């Protein structure tokens, strides 16, 4: 069986790279770390994971991305993967978008940019631990 995946979605490659490094340093080889630079690319990866029976342990998504905003992406994903915890990153989302994500995507947490790596790692740990308790 494949290792579970943590999927990170952001249109800024530097953020994806730094998050991926933090995750690898924190969790080592417990998870696979996949990145996508758009919601559309992430949806393709999710379909591949589903076809391969690869479990997804967590999704971290930016809010402001071209094509599909993070709240819409997470709501769509929640319809397919309701038990997967979701974190939204944002520097610009308004309260309505954040509220929508909490309400319709069962958002675990919202993390504000600029991202403090310690805060992000602790948030990820919290969401993974909370999901294990359910």
Task: Give pLDDT, residue 50.
Answer: 95
In this predicted model, what pLDDT tens digit does every residue of 37-62 receive, in sequence order? Answer: 999 999 999 999 999 999 999 999 99
pTM given for the model: 0.94
Task: Give pLDDT, residue 132.
Answer: 66
Task: Give pLDDT, residue 117.
Answer: 86
Q: Name the residue among 76, 110, 113, 116 with its Cα closest to residue 96.
A: 110
Domains of the chain (ranges plus CATH)?
Answer: 5-133 (3.40.50.2300)
Low-confidence ranges of the chain (pLDDT < 70): 1, 132-134
Two tokens at 61? 């998504």
Q: Name the residue among 85, 36, 29, 14 with its Cα closest to residue 56.
A: 85
114 CB neighbour count, 10 Å cutoff? 6
């Amino acid at each position: 069986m494949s290792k579970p995946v943590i999927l990170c979605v952001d249109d800024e490659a530097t953020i994806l790279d730094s998050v991926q490094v933090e995750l690898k340093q924190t969790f080592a080889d417990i998870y696979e770390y996949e990145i996508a630079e758009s919601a559309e690319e992430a949806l393709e990866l999710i379909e591949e994971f589903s076809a391969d029976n690869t479990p997804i342990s967590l999704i971290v998504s930016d809010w402001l991305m071209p094509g599909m905003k993070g709240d819409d992406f997470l709501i769509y994903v929640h319809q397919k993967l309701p038990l997967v915890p979701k974190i939204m990153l944002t520097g610009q989302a308004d309260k309505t978008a954040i509220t929508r994500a909490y309400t319709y995507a069962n958002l675990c947490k919202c993390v504000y940019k600029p991202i403090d790596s310690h805060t992000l790692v602790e948030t990820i740990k919290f969401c993974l631990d909370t999901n294990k308790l359910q």
